[in-house]
Amino acid sequence: MKSMLVFIWGLLLVITTETRVEIMPSLGYIELNESKVFVCVVEGAVQEMKWLHPSGKEIRDREDERLQVEQADKIVSKLVIRDAQLQDAGRYQCVCRFDESYAETAAVTVTVVQKPTFLNPKTYHEFLEGSEAFVPCDVTGIPQPLVTWKHKGRDVMHTEDGRFLLTAQGLLIQGVRGSDQGLYRCEGRIVDRGEVQSLDISVVVNVPPTVRIREGKVNVTAGSGVNVSLACLVNGHPHPYISWIRDGGPVVAEPGRFGFNSDQSVLTIYAVEKADEGQYTCTATNKINSSRDDVTLHVTANQTEEEVPSPHSTGHTVQATGGQAATVGTLDLMKAQRKEQLAVLQSLAAQQEILVRRVAEIGAEISQLTATLLPVLHSLSPPEKAHD
């Protein structure tokens, strides 16, 4: 029993005299320009606690505004690193002396890091089509981040034409096109720490306007119910302003005479007259340049609407056989009226012939459809029951 008591007493003596020094947190990552506190905790009857700089020099309170030591109590000491800089990286030690001959040390390795950071970010750029476009994206970090670019969700380096080149400060696009316009995303990634920062950049490609008239010459016959549309195909960015000119003067909207669609690329002339004949010019203008194209409108007068002599006019008289006068004007008017009536009758006859032919075609189609469907309908009919 006595030996057992001696063993327990010795064990208690070992436990009570055990010492331990620990620094928290054990990982020494500090963000650049940020502050952090490291706490040194000791177990045991410590006589002295001090912090050593990576250079080996003791860190004394108030000697450096950014590196300070605070003694919370006899067993806790704090090292405060403020506004961390790259030169603050290194191995810091907390040295605890228990008596004249015995001391223990704990250490923490401080690493100054920086998240991916964009320097002087500019998120909007304009370029002229065909030029060399440089989109800046200067990304810094500790360690230096890996930079990638995306356009419309795809890595720009996966394009097949090789016009995209990555540089240390941004993205170079050779011979920029209208299709290159859009939102680009510049990503800075530090793989080891799983940190990603992104910057969205809008790229606008300005394109000079181009104009192309669908038909260079348009022929039309005048008439109260005849309308003609003159169209020009316009491209460019920003979208050009479109205007029309005739005989050196602007063509403006006029109810019942001239009208335009929403962007004025189509000019409609209502109830075309002989006086509307001439050259029309479509002009497209944006902040880059302007472009134009011409269309010639040729109007043929409608004979039925030409001015004819009055039935009551004697017109021009000539001497006929038997010495009697004949009124040429009246005869001409009657001939014109007969010609007009004949044209109407011919038009009606043609329409009737087309109608008859179409009815015959529809009848043939119905017969063919019936011949096709009858076998199908017979196959779907239930079989007749046999009579006893």
Q: What is the mean pLDDT of the chain?
A: 82
Q: Over the stretch 183-203, which tens digit does the pLDDT of each residue have?
A: 999 999 999 888 999 999 999
Looking at 172, 206, 240, which one is the last position of a domain?
206
Residue percentage of the chain with pLDDT more than 70: 75
Are the C-beta atoms of residues 169 and 59 closer than 8 Å to each other? no
Judge if 279 and 223 occupy the same domain: yes
Please report where in the chains the tokens 């335009």 appear, as a residue: 260
- Whether the per-residue pLDDT at 241 is higher than 90: the answer is yes
Q: How confident is the model at residue 376 (pLDDT cuts 50, 70, 90)?
A: low
Question: What pLDDT is recorded for position 192?
Answer: 87
CATH number of the domain at 286, please.
2.60.40.10
Question: What pLDDT is recorded for position 6?
Answer: 39
- Whether the per-residue pLDDT at 354 is higher than 80: the answer is no
Judge if 144 and 77 occupy the same domain: no
The average pLDDT across 346-367 equals 67
Looking at 180, 206, 232, which one is the last position of a domain?
206
Judge if 91 and 158 occupy the same domain: no
Judge if 265 and 292 occupy the same domain: yes
Residue 195 placed within a domain: yes
Judge if 88 and 153 occupy the same domain: no
Q: How far apart are alpha carbons 215 and 274 in whole angstroms?
A: 19
| Structural domain of 132 | 120-206
The average pLDDT across 47-76 equals 90
Question: What pLDDT is recorded for position 367?
Answer: 72
Question: What pLDDT is recorded for position 314?
Answer: 38
The average pLDDT across 29-49 equals 93
Judge if 66 and 153 occupy the same domain: no
Residue percentage of the chain with pLDDT more than 90: 60
Question: What pLDDT is recorded for position 304?
Answer: 56
Residue 108 placed within a domain: yes
Which class for 41: exposed (0-12), middle (13-18), buried (19 or more C-beta within 10 A)? Answer: middle
The average pLDDT across 95-104 equals 91
Residue 11 placed within a domain: no
pTM, entire model:
0.59
Question: What pLDDT is recorded for position 373?
Answer: 66
Judge if 142 and 104 occupy the same domain: no
Residue 232 placed within a domain: yes
Residue 367 placed within a domain: no
In Å, the largest CA–CA distance within the chain is 178
Q: Cα dihedral angle (158, 162, 168, 171), rounded to 10 degrees?
A: -80
The average pLDDT across 260-283 equals 94
Looking at 257, 285, 302, which one is the last position of a domain?
302
The average pLDDT across 171-191 equals 94
Structural domains of the chain, count? 3
Residue 318 placed within a domain: no
What DSSP element (H or E) covers 15?
Answer: helix 2-16
Residue 374 placed within a domain: no
Say how many C-beta atoms besides its own lie within 10 A of residue 274's C-beta. 13
Question: What pLDDT is recorded for position 349?
Answer: 62
Judge if 82 and 132 occupy the same domain: no
Question: What pLDDT is recorded for position 153?
Answer: 86
Judge if 127 and 187 occupy the same domain: yes
Are the C-beta atoms of residues 115 and 194 closer than 8 Å to each other? no
What DSSP element (H or E) covers 280?
Answer: strand 278-285
Q: Cα dihedral angle (163, 166, 171, 174), rounded to 10 degrees?
A: -20
CA Rg value for the chain:
48
Q: How confident is the model at residue 351 (pLDDT cuts 50, 70, 90)?
A: low
Judge if 22 and 88 occupy the same domain: yes
Residue 249 placed within a domain: yes
Judge if 171 and 90 occupy the same domain: no
Judge if 37 and 69 occupy the same domain: yes
